[in-house]
Amino acid sequence: MATFTSKDVARLAGVSQSTVSYVMSGKRPISEDTRRRVLDAIDRLTYEPNAGARALASQRTNVVGLVVPFGAGVDTTGLLPFIETIAGAARARDHDVLLVTTNEGSAGIRRLAGRSLCDAIILMDLQRDDDRLAVAADVRTPVILIGVPDDPHGLHCVDLDFAEAARLAVGELAATGHDRLALIGHPADIVERDLNYVRRFYDATRAAAASHGLPLDVIAPVEWGREAASGAAAALAAIEARKLGVVIPASNTVQPVLHALNARGLVPGRDISVIGLLTDAAAAETEPPVTNVSLEPRDVSRRAMETLFRLLEAPEPPQVDLITPKLTRRQTVT
C-alpha cells in the first residue's frame, strides 16, 4: 500500500491542491462536478490526509488527550466505561484519543499542551488539591475536569453529584426506619490521595445523617479484598442498633462486604441493610443484588465530551456541571 498525498489526489482529479482541501473540509463552496471528481480520486487512491501536516497547517490535531488514573492503586472499577465512552464520542466527531497516565503528573499535561499533541484535555481522578490544576489552568489547550476539586482554577468540571448521592442513600435508609448508620470507607491510599469525590461523599453523608438525626459510625480505612471486608463486617456486627443501615461508596468493597456479612450470619436485606455506590450493571451482579445509588461513568463522560466540543468551537465561561444520580432498590434494604 503506497501512500498518497493530496497533491496526487489533485493531479488525478485535475484540480489544485487547495481544491482538494476545500472539498474535504467543506470550507468553501465547490461545484458538484469537481467535488465528485475529487471524492472519486480520493477513494480510488484510498487517500488519507497526513495528520501531522494537517495539524501543523491548521493548528488542529483532531486528538483529545485523556489523562487516566493508572498505576497508583486506584479504584479502577469504573474506568473502562469512561475510556470507552470518551473514545466513542471522540470518534463520532472524527477525533482520536491519546492516553496519558496519571503517574506522569503535571508533566503529562505540559507535554500534551506544549507539543500540541491534542486540541483539548480531559483530566480524571483529581485530588482535592491537585498540583496538575495549576498547570492545566496555565496552558492554552482547554482542559475539562471529570471531578470537582476544591478550587477548579477556572476550569470546566463535570461529575456525578456525589453529595446528592449521599443524600439519596441516607434518605432511603432513614425512610426505611433505620436507627443507626455506618459508612464503610475507602482504602488508606485512596483517602490519602484525597480524591475529590471521596471527601464530597463523606461530608454529605455526615450532613445527611445529622439532618435525619441518625448516629453515624465511620469505618475507615478499609482496604480492597476479603480480609479487610471481614474486618469491616466484624466492626458492623459490633455496632449496637435496632436496625443498622450501611453505606458503601467504594464500588470494589461492596461485594466483599456482602460476603463477609453473610459469613457472619448477618444476611444483607434481612439482618442489616446495605446501599452501595456503584454502577447499575455492577449492582445487578452482586450477590445478592445490592440496592445502589447509580454511578454512571457513561453519562459523565458523555457530558464531558459535549462540553469539550462546545469549547472547541467557542470559548465559554467555566462551570461546574453535576449529574444527578438515582437510587435503585434491589435486595439489600428492608
State the chain's maximal CA–CA distance in angstroms.
85
Among 17, 35, 104, 199, binds its own copies (CB under 8 A): 104
| Cell 462546545 sits on residue | 310
Site string for its own copies, 128-157 (x = CB under 8 A): ----------xxx-----------------
**# binding residues, DNA (CB under 7 A):** 31
Q: What ranges make up the beta strands (E) of the chain? A: 63-68, 96-101, 120-123, 143-146, 156-160, 180-184, 216-219, 244-248, 273-277, 291-293, 320-323, 327-328
Collect all residues with Cβ–Cβ distance below 8 Å to 44 and sequence separation of at least 6: 12
Among 11, 49, 266, 298, binds DNA (CB under 7 A): 49
Site string for its own copies, 17-56 (x = CB under 8 A): -----------------------------xxxxxxxxxxx
Collect all residues with Cβ–Cβ distance below 8 Å to 250 and sequence separation of at least 6: 75, 184, 185, 186, 187, 190, 222, 277
Nearest CA among 297, 263, 334 for reference residue 66: 297
* Under rule CB under 8 A, residue 234 binds its own copies: no
- Residue 67 CA to residue 155 CA, distance in Å, equals 15
Among 30, 39, 117, 322, binds its own copies (CB under 8 A): 117
* Under rule CB under 7 A, residue 28 binds DNA: yes
CB nearer to DNA: give 41 or 248.
Answer: 41
Of 251-310, binders to its own copies (CB under 8 A) are 259, 285, 287
For residues 233 and 264, is the Cβ–Cβ distance under 8 A? yes
CB nearer to DNA: give 6 or 196.
Answer: 6
Burial label, 239 (beta-carbon count in 10 A; 0-12, 13-18, 19+): middle
Nearest approach in angstroms of CB 117 to its own copies is: 5
* Under rule CB under 7 A, residue 56 binds DNA: yes
* Under rule CB under 8 A, residue 312 binds its own copies: no
Nearest approach in angstroms of CB 122 to its own copies is: 12
Phi, psi of 327 (to 5 degrees): -100, 135
- Residue 243 CA to residue 250 CA, distance in Å, equals 22
Site string for its own copies, 177-216 (x = CB under 8 A): ----------------------------------------
* Under rule CB under 7 A, residue 93 binds DNA: no
From the CA atom positions of the chain, what is the Rg in Å? Answer: 25
* Under rule CB under 8 A, residue 315 binds its own copies: no
Site residues, DNA (CB under 7 A):
5-7, 14-22, 24-25, 27-31, 33-35, 47, 49-50, 53-54, 56-58, 60
Site residues, its own copies (CB under 8 A):
1, 3, 46-56, 61, 63, 66, 70-71, 76, 79-80, 83-84, 87-88, 91, 96-101, 104, 110-111, 113-117, 138-140, 225-226, 259, 285, 287
